[in-house]
Structures are given as structure tokens and as C-alpha cells.
Amino acid sequence: MKKVWDVNVNGVMHTVEYRAGFGAKVIINGKVYKAKTQNWFINMIDYPIVIDGAEIRVVAIGNKVDLAVNGRYLGSGEQYVPLNKMPVMANVFIGISCIGGFLLTKWLGFLIGVLFSFLYAKFGLQGKNGALIGSFVACIAIQLVLVFAVATLLVATGYYG
């Protein structure tokens, strides 16, 4: 995945590029920097850049990437919110959903946990704690229904007990 922006700072054009693959990279005017994710389960990058006094941030959540210049996202026009402002509860929910999903139903449960993790990040950054908790409850409910469906299938086919 590759995303490129041309940013005008004090009349001088600068190129900012984000590349993801095996490790994320931020390329500023041809100079390459490694960017590390802030979460084990989903890609969450908030890479700061200062060019001639302008504060620029490359923000990636999953495969959605945007550039914030002086507190505003270029793509959406919304106000920039630092990823470290995400409530701890959202990160805990991400871990529980992914690890718990894997322990319950292996990779399918893990995948469900990862998919819901994007909602947790979105709602956490927006400050919608009710929606955050509701999506966590929905994720756990779906994973538990999946566990009972798999167990019922195993018993019905004679693999279990």
C-alpha cells in the first residue's frame, strides 16, 4: 500500500509518502524513516514530522491512512486526534477480542476480533464510549455464538463425544 501527498510549507513543496508492507515506512523528500505500530493486533501509526515549523503527522489505522497538517486531516478535513488519546479501555478490548477469539475458535475468532478492533479504535478516538462498549459486547456475543455453533456441529457429526 502506498499513499503520497504533496505539502506546501512556506511556499516550498515537500513530498510525504507512506508505504506499508513488511514494515511501514514514511518517506519525506526521498529520505526513508521506519514507522512502528502502536498496537500488536492492528496497524496504528501516528508518525510526527516537523518541516519549517509546520506540524505534520502521518496517521494510519489499519489500511486507512491520512495526513494531518497543523491539526487538520487533508483527506477528511476533520480535526486531528492523537492516537495516544485513545482510551486504555479500547486497547484492552482489542487484546481481549483478538486473543479471546483465537482461544475460542482459532483463526476465525481472531479475525472477528481484528475486524471489531477497527471499530474500537474509531469509537475510542471519537470519544464514543457507549458505542465502544456496545461493539465489544457485540463482538463477544458473535464469538460465543460461533463457539456454540462449532461445538454443536462437532457433536452432531460425531467428532465430539
The 10s digit of each residue's pLDDT in 111-155 is 999 999 999 999 999 999 999 999 999 999 999 999 999 889 989
% of the chain exceeding 70 in pLDDT: 99
The 10s digit of each residue's pLDDT in 16-48 is 999 998 889 999 999 999 999 988 888 999 999
Q: Per-residue pLDDT for 108 more than 90?
A: yes
Q: What is the mean pLDDT of residues 44-71?
A: 92
Q: Per-residue pLDDT for 75 more than 80?
A: yes
One-letter amino acid at 145 equals V
Q: Per-residue pLDDT for 5 more than 70?
A: yes
How many Å apart are CA 2 and CA 12, to the nearest integer? Answer: 23
Query: Backbone dihedral region of 49: left (phi > 0), alpha (psi from -120 to 50 degrees) or beta?
Result: beta
CA neighbor of 132 nearest in space, from 89, 80, 83: 89
Q: What is the pTM of this model?
A: 0.77
Predicted confidence band of residue 99 (pLDDT cuts 50, 70, 90): very high
Q: What is the pLDDT of residue 161?
A: 61
One-letter amino acid at 87 equals P
